[in-house]
Chain A
Amino acid sequence: MTVQSEPQGRPYLYWALGLALLFHGGLLVNQSFVRTYDALIHIFFASHYTQNWFDPWETRWYTGFFTIAYPPLSHQLIAVFSFVIGLKAGFALVQLLAVLILIVGVYRTSSLLFPGAAAGYASLAAVISSAIIETVHVFGQLPTTLSLGLLLNAIPWVWAYVRYGQRLDFLRAIAFTAATTAAHHITTIFGSVFFVAPILLILWLEAYRIPRVNEPQRWRWAYRIAPRTYRALLYMVFTVVSLVVVILPYLYWSRTDPILQVPIPHASRDSFLVNTSAGLMFFLIPWLSTGGFFLYALYKGFSTWTFPVALSLGLLALLGTGGTTPLPKMILRGAFDILTLERFTFWACIWMLPFVGSAIHSALQGRLAVWFDANFGGRIRAASLVVFAVAMLASAIYISSLTNLRKFQPEPIEITPIINFIEKDEHWRYRYLTIGFGDQMAWLSANTKAQTVDGNYHSARRLIELTSTPVERLDGAKYAGVPGLGSLEQFVTMPERFHLKFIFANDAFYDPLLYFSGWQRLTRLENGIVVWEREDIAPLPERTPRKNLPTILAMMWGIFPPLSVCLVILSLWLRRLPSWNLARLSPLVIRTWLFERNPTDAPASRPPWMKRLPALNRVLNFQRRHMWVRAARVGIPILGLMAVLLVYFARQPTPEETVLRYWDAYDFRRFQAAYAQLEPQNGLTYERWLLDLSIVGGLRSGYAKLDRIETKVLSNDGTRALVRTRLFWVTSLFEKQEEITDTLVKTARGNWRILAYPALKPRSVERFSEDANVAYYRAARRLTTNTTSSFDVLDRPQLAVGQSRLVRYSLQRNVIGLDGVSRIIKEPTLAVVGEIENLDPRPADVTLTAILRDQNGQELTRNNAATLMQHKLLPGERTAFRVDFIGVDAPKALEAVKSVEIIAKAVVTGHDLERSLATWVKRKQQNLQLEVSNVGASEIAIPQILTVLHDKQGVAWLSANYLLESLPPRSQITWQTRLRLPTDYQVLQIIETRQNSKTATVFDATQEVIRPAMLVPMVHPTLRGYRLQQKGFEVKP
């Protein structure tokens, strides 16, 4: 072992620490971490400890959760520092400390395996390690870095104790391990396997090779390793005890309140060959600075007695490949779907650092230098080292600024206007939701007492609406696809269940869902955030439900983790322990076997398999070659690489690739790249094309993302091609498939390009015309902190619910089976459909709830009408509605439903009452051709057409259509839709209306019912006619 030469590396360590202070410290002081993934989450947890150190119940996320779901040390340290320097600076300080501890740990652990100078180079390599930079400055992970730093510093003490048996070393090893657990218990658990176990194995193998005095003839090997085994076991037992003691509250909580979360997809589990972005983030970038040394590390490891470390390194690297191969899943089994596998790559990269240090050391003054000089020449070696150093520095700078170059988070949001809004008029008495904030929602939460239904640490949440879907955060629901949007829709549809009244939106993608679900745009704050509001939501009760943890556990959580840090400091401060020689009390045979120390080094030798493998010396040539041979060895690979690149970039895309490139660029708003795929006709310049795009707004261009693109060449004569493209759009409202057929021509340069023409629109005959509308003013409430004066409360509008019905139908889903074949499965589903009218002279904002009950009248489930009704009704206006019971809202057994209750309530509103659409409909059997006109004076961004089918008893069914393009004033758009009842449609129950509204005041005694609708008659076995309702979402500045 090489620890004796350790002091030789210290100058390099000091340089490394200085560089780390400059590089990492500079970035952290400039708060680069606000653009990372996790930093603000840790700051939020820290804000909890600043307010409630000993109460782990946190109400601001998920309607309440336990902070004991996350090991607290790093958060508590930030909290302590934040009392002096604030939360963000506190985070930067703790992260910087963690990085410095990590670098020291890399140095100290490396010095166990390689000479001190090599360990010094390893510490320098750690400063610019792409894995560390990515973890700190892109992922913003603090517990991972802090805990690994502590663990790497524990390992030398473990090594020293197991080897020499000093109790002070043992105390330090346990103190550091306990602190590791307090920072992140996963590091202790996996670190025991991948970091501590290899070191113990090396020590065992060393002990096996060192003869002891008075060795017995039998069990000689056991006699040799017995003392180290005993001490290793003692360490392991105390490690487990410290783990249990430090995080007992976490263990208790996870036992008594187990996580029922469905697996949340994480890109680190994807195949990096398919999901190349994940491959970049979780494989290429972490390995960028050290991956080139991988084979060297394996050779170096397996050719010496340090092979357990190489074995651990290989296994970690394999696990870090995620779903690229089936091996990680076979090894991890069920844990594969829970763990984020990028941490294995991170750990592998850390284990690489000692070998990198060794390689640099060798390349400067060892065998690698000799081999390089012999085969490529000294100048090439020097140049290679310089290029390597420059490349590493450049990659370090590139990765550290990755969050600026590629937007992982939305632009920084100034939260002060939001905080002011929350504080104003006691808005904190309602829950809120953020969308499009990314991880900045945690920073907002850290600065307010208001509560959100969402959160940013999904392991702690227990709301069924969240745990039943793979959405990580409602804030970014669109990234979880249809299930994620479905989860968000549940909160948006039934906000009163959660006292959710305000949504702060930083992403217009969700605007259509909010608008058509009855939410209204309240204001745009100074920071550009749009505040959405839902009317008729009750404020939070004075006391919200909470869970309790036994007081002793809450106290332990607040005391033991910081105590572990105190123990670390104390153990380092102590120079020696009192001399209690317990060994003397034990029987002689135990003393002989266990307590003997064998501090001598093992004789130099190589692992047995090296004798069977041809020595690398024979394979590698250390003889100096001729200059031409050396030049050829350098030149041929470079020329080969250039040739490959030339062939790749000179290739012309096919017509399909041209179309794909166009839509890909269009989807990501890379308009110049999109325009480059066009063959402009009739003088279509880039500026004109942009102008044409700008006037075609709407769902497609502003509120949708392309999920996938399919292309098919219909014909191709070599110069012109006809390509049909299927675009699969995802919006917050639905998934939409659009089919476009393009003509492509082959240009003189041999490129395929899409023919494109300038858009022309006929002039309107109305040059300047009026469109009268009604605006409403609602007087402000009397200024008081008491209950709102009755004079300030408006009557609830009078509603009439028409005949409604409970229907059963089949949802058809496309499912791909294990055999890879796509099948359509039918899923029986319930819905309540009917009609409601506003009888009041005031406009009404309607909330309609349907409750399904069993034969005993017990409620089975309830849901609100979401996008399938008009929530804002003019006086005298009516709307059909449909309440779906899908997903977690579906009753467990459809047969159990015996009765239905409909509750309609409303408040007076002055919002979103414009009616600017008129539609001509042409019916051909079941197909409808719609000519939708905007007869108002504002652009309709998203026109909604509700198609209502009537039979003899009333409304039979309702479906919605949303047009993909916006509709400027005085313009028309054509659309196609179908008239049909859903599959397996069956009326289960007709609900007779007994009174107007369950929540109407005592004065609502009218017996009016819905007036007959204007219907277009239909010839259909069951249906009597159909009618259309129209509503438009207008873009407001």
Chain B
Amino acid sequence: MKIWWLIVSGLIGLVIWWLLPKSSPEAIQASPTMQAPPRVMVEELEQGLEFWLDGQQLPPNLAWRVWLSTNAGAVVGRATTTGQRLLVPWTRAGLIPYQVDVGSHQIHGQINRLPSKAITPLKLNIGARAVRVNANRVPALVLHPIDQQGNVSNDPIQVQINRPDGTLLQRQIKVKHLLAWTWLPSGTKTGLLKVQVNTQEARGERGEVDVLPNLTAQAQFQVQARTATSDRERLLLSLTNAKDQFGNPVLNGTSVEFFAQNSIWALFSTRTLVRQSAEVKLPIPEQGIFQSTGRIDNWKSQQKTIKAEPNIRPSSIPIQLNNQILEVGAVIDQQGALLDDGTPVQIEIPLLNNSTYSIRLPLENGRLQWQLPPLPSSARVLYVSIQGLRLTVPLQ
């Protein structure tokens, strides 16, 4: 039991000791012997600022301290008059107010620490890194030349710009508000704009800007003027020779839109520009005359006319319906050939309630034979569609 009391008493004692106010290290005992304040001397070193006191009759072992008022807060250093100089490890450039407490005296002052020479590597910030020629998104170079201590150096920067058109621009830019910057005019030719920077003693890696073509200003739109309505014949629309206002080839991958329409049908297609050209090749669903256009960026072509004619004649489709068996064919095209095996024949039979029985069957050797399913009495007619031609067959 006694041992417990001892432990508890000890713990309580520890807590009380911990709670008692301690003598603060800031409480500097003033010496009554020093009458006049000493002179405060400061020297800038690589490692920081070195302070020392210069005065007569400095009492020995007198504690003194230095307060630096910095943008990172107060930085405090302490020493005694017996000791050596006081080094405060503050290396940032700028105006630094300080206060020295010695004895009963407070001495105020300030020091303007200047940055030193910029060091290698200089780190370039370039934006934008890809621009169109002569566009309003002009790239710029932004640079913070840093000295050994991490301060922005005041050294002037030499900038050398190699443009894609071969011209060389040289500039000297000054550091202002802790940064140096300049526009990088890209010119009118596409390619790689190269930027090099250096100061007297420092260099950086090369910076680059991709100078890309501007929006399309000229192109050629072509269509196949006459075509046939067949699954196998294809209408061709193409856009070629796309260039910007300076004659630069428009960038690969640019979107190209093709559009065609008549009073019934309309075509929409988006393709990708590759080596200044894009095309779309597809069957045309019905005969007729269509107006077509192509568009890329702001450039839109003139309308061009396409005439589509049927691949087969209605009179060349023999159809018979005997004993619920539908026989189609042989179907031949304009050239007198059988239609390809697999050419779809769409059969539609309207039923009750706006519903339709439809089936798509292929031609084989130009022919089709199909037995009708048992149809409700409401079925009156069936439609046969082949390559855009639609024929009506009354049901018996």
Seen from chain A, the residues whose Cβ lies within 8 Å of a Cβ on chain B are 682, 714-717, 720-722, 724, 739, 741, 743, 757, 759-766, 772-774, 776, 790-791, 793-795, 798, 840-843, 873-877, 913-915, 917-923, 931, 933, 935, 972, 1001, 1003-1006, 1011, 1014, 1016, 1027-1030
B125 within 8 A of A: yes
B25 within 8 A of A: no
A900 to chain B: closest CB distance in Å? Answer: 27
- Collect the chain B residues with CB atoms within 8 Å of residue A721's CB: 373-374
- Collect the chain A residues with CB atoms within 8 Å of residue B265's CB: 920-922
Q: Which of A715, A762, A791, A1004 contacts B342 (CB 8 A)?
A: A762
Q: Which of B127, B213, B258, B355 contacts A795 (CB 8 A)?
A: B127
Complex CA–CA separation, A1004 to B136 (angstroms): 8
Q: Indicate if the CB atoms of B213 and A920 lie closer than 8 Å.
A: no
Q: Which 8 A-B pairs have the closest CB atoms?
A: A760-B362, A918-B269, A760-B342, A877-B255, A874-B255, A743-B373, A772-B274, A762-B340
Complex CA–CA separation, A722 to B371 (angstroms): 12
Q: Which of A739, A774, A841, A1028 contacts B272 (CB 8 A)?
A: A774
- Collect the chain B residues with CB atoms within 8 Å of residue A913's CB: 253, 272
B296 to chain A: closest CB distance in Å? Answer: 7
Q: Which of B170-222 contact A (CB under 8 A)?
A: 205, 207-208, 212-213, 215-216
B65 within 8 A of A: no
Residue among B208, B261, B298 having the largest count of chain A Cβ atoms under 10 Å: B261
Q: Indicate if the CB atoms of B251 and A841 lie closer than 8 Å.
A: yes
Q: Indicate if the CB atoms of A741 and B259 lie closer than 8 Å.
A: no
With A741-B358, A790-B123, A795-B129 known, 16 other A-B pairs at CB within 8 A are: A714-B375, A721-B373, A724-B355, A772-B274, A841-B251, A876-B216, A914-B272, A915-B270, A917-B269, A918-B269, A920-B284, A1005-B136, A1005-B137, A1016-B266, A1028-B268, A1029-B270
Q: Indicate if the CB atoms of B255 and A876 lie closer than 8 Å.
A: yes
6 contacts between A and B (CB under 8 A): A762-B231, A841-B213, A876-B216, A920-B267, A1011-B298, A1014-B259
Residue among B231, B284, B375, B376 having the largest count of chain A Cβ atoms under 10 Å: B231
B76 within 8 A of A: no
- Collect the chain A residues with CB atoms within 8 Å of residue B357's CB: 714, 722, 741
Q: Indicate if the CB atoms of A794 and B129 lie closer than 8 Å.
A: yes
Q: Indicate if the CB atoms of A765 and B234 lie closer than 8 Å.
A: yes
Q: Which of B126, B233, B253, B259 contacts A765 (CB 8 A)?
A: B233
- Collect the chain B residues with CB atoms within 8 Å of residue A1014's CB: 257, 259, 268, 293, 295
- Collect the chain B residues with CB atoms within 8 Å of residue A931's CB: 285
B108 within 8 A of A: no
A61 to chain B: closest CB distance in Å? Answer: 40
Q: Which of A722, A915, A1004 contacts B373 (CB 8 A)?
A: A722
- Collect the chain B residues with CB atoms within 8 Å of residue A798's CB: 137
Count of interface residues, chain B, beta-carbon cutoff 8 Å = 77
B193 to chain A: closest CB distance in Å? Answer: 14
Q: Indicate if the CB atoms of A922 and B264 lie closer than 8 Å.
A: yes
- Collect the chain B residues with CB atoms within 8 Å of residue A874's CB: 253-255, 270, 272
A-contact 0/1 string along B11-24, CB 8 Å cutoff: 00000000000000
Residue among B140, B253, B261, B267 having the largest count of chain A Cβ atoms under 10 Å: B253
A-contact 0/1 string along B338-376, CB 8 Å cutoff: 011111100000010001011101111000000001111
A963 to chain B: closest CB distance in Å? Answer: 15
Q: Indicate if the CB atoms of B297 and A876 lie closer than 8 Å.
A: yes
| A842 to B, closest residue via Cβ | B130
- Collect the chain B residues with CB atoms within 8 Å of residue A717's CB: 374
Given A757-B361, A790-B125, A935-B269, CB of A722 within 8 Å of CB of B284 = no
Complex CA–CA separation, A724 to B135 (angstroms): 61
Given A843-B253, A1003-B139, CB of A935 within 8 Å of CB of B282 = yes
Residue among B136, B205, B231, B373 having the largest count of chain A Cβ atoms under 10 Å: B373
- Collect the chain B residues with CB atoms within 8 Å of residue A741's CB: 357-359
Q: Indicate if the CB atoms of B254 and A1004 lie closer than 8 Å.
A: no
Q: Which of B130, B234, B270 contacts A841 (CB 8 A)?
A: B130
Given A720-B374, A724-B355, A798-B137, CB of A875 within 8 Å of CB of B251 = yes
Complex CA–CA separation, A714 to B129 (angstroms): 67
- Collect the chain B residues with CB atoms within 8 Å of residue A915's CB: 255, 269-272
Given A774-B253, A919-B269, A1003-B140, CB of A715 within 8 Å of CB of B341 = no
Complex CA–CA separation, A933 to B283 (angstroms): 8
B132 within 8 A of A: yes
Q: Indicate if the CB atoms of A760 and B374 lie closer than 8 Å.
A: no
B36 to chain A: closest CB distance in Å? Answer: 54
Q: Which of B259, B282, B285, B362 contacts A922 (CB 8 A)?
A: B285
- Collect the chain B residues with CB atoms within 8 Å of residue A1030's CB: 268-270
Q: Indicate if the CB atoms of B128 and A715 lie closer than 8 Å.
A: no
Q: Indicate if the CB atoms of A1016 and B261 lie closer than 8 Å.
A: yes
Complex CA–CA separation, A873 to B334 (angstroms): 43
Complex CA–CA separation, A739 to B284 (angstroms): 27
Q: Indicate if the CB atoms of B269 and A794 lie closer than 8 Å.
A: no
A623 to chain B: closest CB distance in Å? Answer: 66
B392 within 8 A of A: no
| B209 to A, closest residue via Cβ | A795
Complex CA–CA separation, A876 to B280 (angstroms): 18
A703 to chain B: closest CB distance in Å? Answer: 23
Q: Indicate if the CB atoms of A714 and B376 lie closer than 8 Å.
A: yes
- Collect the chain A residues with CB atoms within 8 Å of residue B255's CB: 873-877, 915
Q: Which of B227-263 contact A (CB under 8 A)?
A: 231-234, 251-255, 257-259, 261
Q: Indicate if the CB atoms of B128 and A921 lie closer than 8 Å.
A: no
- Collect the chain A residues with CB atoms within 8 Å of residue B127's CB: 795, 1001, 1003
Given A761-B362, A922-B264, CB of A795 within 8 Å of CB of B373 = no
Given A761-B342, A920-B266, CB of A935 within 8 Å of CB of B281 = yes
B390 within 8 A of A: no
| B281 to A, closest residue via Cβ | A935
Q: Which of A682, A722, A877 contacts B270 (CB 8 A)?
A: A877
Residue among B123, B136, B137 having the largest count of chain A Cβ atoms under 10 Å: B137
Complex CA–CA separation, A763 to B357 (angstroms): 27
Q: Indicate if the CB atoms of B283 and A720 lie closer than 8 Å.
A: no
| A763 to B, closest residue via Cβ | B340
Complex CA–CA separation, A774 to B255 (angstroms): 11
Q: Which of B272-294 contact A (CB under 8 A)?
A: 272, 274-275, 280-286, 293
- Collect the chain A residues with CB atoms within 8 Å of residue B258's CB: 918
B138 within 8 A of A: yes
| B282 to A, closest residue via Cβ | A933
Residue among A791, A798, A841, A972 having the largest count of chain B Cβ atoms under 10 Å: A841
| A915 to B, closest residue via Cβ | B270
Q: Indicate if the CB atoms of B269 and A876 lie closer than 8 Å.
A: no
Q: Indicate if the CB atoms of A918 and B374 lie closer than 8 Å.
A: no
| A794 to B, closest residue via Cβ | B129
Complex CA–CA separation, A724 to B359 (angstroms): 12
Q: Indicate if the CB atoms of B296 and A876 lie closer than 8 Å.
A: yes
Complex CA–CA separation, A842 to B252 (angstroms): 9
Q: Which of B212, B215, B268, B342 contacts A876 (CB 8 A)?
A: B215
Given A715-B374, A790-B125, A874-B254, CB of A765 within 8 Å of CB of B269 = no
- Collect the chain B residues with CB atoms within 8 Å of residue A794's CB: 129-130
Complex CA–CA separation, A842 to B297 (angstroms): 13
Q: Indicate if the CB atoms of B342 and A716 lie closer than 8 Å.
A: no
Given A913-B253, A1006-B136, CB of A774 within 8 Å of CB of B274 = yes
Complex CA–CA separation, A716 to B364 (angstroms): 29
Q: Indicate if the CB atoms of B285 and A920 lie closer than 8 Å.
A: yes
Q: Indicate if the CB atoms of B253 and A764 lie closer than 8 Å.
A: no
| B295 to A, closest residue via Cβ | A1014
Complex CA–CA separation, A798 to B137 (angstroms): 10
- Collect the chain B residues with CB atoms within 8 Å of residue A914's CB: 272
Q: Indicate if the CB atoms of A921 and B266 lie closer than 8 Å.
A: yes
Q: Indicate if the CB atoms of A1001 and B362 lie closer than 8 Å.
A: no
Complex CA–CA separation, A1005 to B207 (angstroms): 23
Complex CA–CA separation, A843 to B254 (angstroms): 8
- Collect the chain A residues with CB atoms within 8 Å of residue B215's CB: 876
- Collect the chain A residues with CB atoms within 8 Å of residue B205's CB: 791
Complex CA–CA separation, A96 to B340 (angstroms): 69
